[in-house]
Chains A and B, each alone.
Chain A
């Protein structure tokens, strides 16, 4: 039981390049989330998927797109990377998207945009 896994662990991009961050969970959770973590700003929600087939914007969705591929997988895409998107990205999942359920986090992807 691996929990939440993320690939890649590290990535360096040039401005304007695109990439997709992958996330998968094996806990049969319905809800999945993408956060970014920047120094002094905590974690900020980019997008979330309350259930398979639905996605919603979080606090900082601009410049990102997401796909809930199936119940297990939730990907985050940067179409044209910018230096402001240099950050550590975390995926999380929970049984459902209500307050009674804990969010479990993956190990993160450290992204640098030059």
Chain B
């Protein structure tokens, strides 16, 4: 079955720096890759997603890149702010109704 590996498990950056989180997936049939942000005590919320026919997508300070050949995708956050501190999850989906999540990355942005 599908497996998603996410790195690093924890990431600490200074405010204003960039943060990068990487994920790899095993099932080449996966065609949708969302990223979720989870704040303490809350459920995950979608922040950006990318489909397999697109290589890169941006939304203000957030961008996601996808390399289908290598089966990996990454989340890039620029100009980080303290409110970006949270747990981030990547996921992969192959149109079966099943999202497979990575293990999560705890991002800490130091003021």
A complexed with B: yes
Residues of chain A at the chain B interface (Cβ within 8 Å): 4, 31, 33, 40-45, 48, 50, 56, 58-59, 90, 92, 97-100, 102-108
Contacts of B95 in A (CB 8 A): 98-99
The answer to the question of B111 belonging to the interface, with a C-beta cut-off of 8 Å to chain A, is: no
Question: What's the minimum C-beta distance from A50 to chain B, rounded to whole angstroms?
Answer: 5
Contacts of B34 in A (CB 8 A): 102-103
Residues of chain B at the chain A interface (Cβ within 8 Å): 1, 4, 6, 9, 31-32, 34, 36, 41-46, 49, 51, 89, 93-104
Contacts of B43 in A (CB 8 A): 4, 90, 92, 105-108
**Bound form: Cα–Cα A102–B91 in Å:** 12
**Bound form: Cα–Cα A21–B25 in Å:** 31
**Bound form: Cα–Cα A41–B4 in Å:** 11
Contacts of B96 in A (CB 8 A): 97
A-B contact pairs, 7 of them (CB 8 A): A33-B97, A40-B9, A45-B100, A48-B98, A98-B95, A99-B31, A105-B36
Given contacts A90-B43, A105-B45, A107-B43, contact A99 B101 (CB under 8 A): no
**Bound form: Cα–Cα A106–B88 in Å:** 16
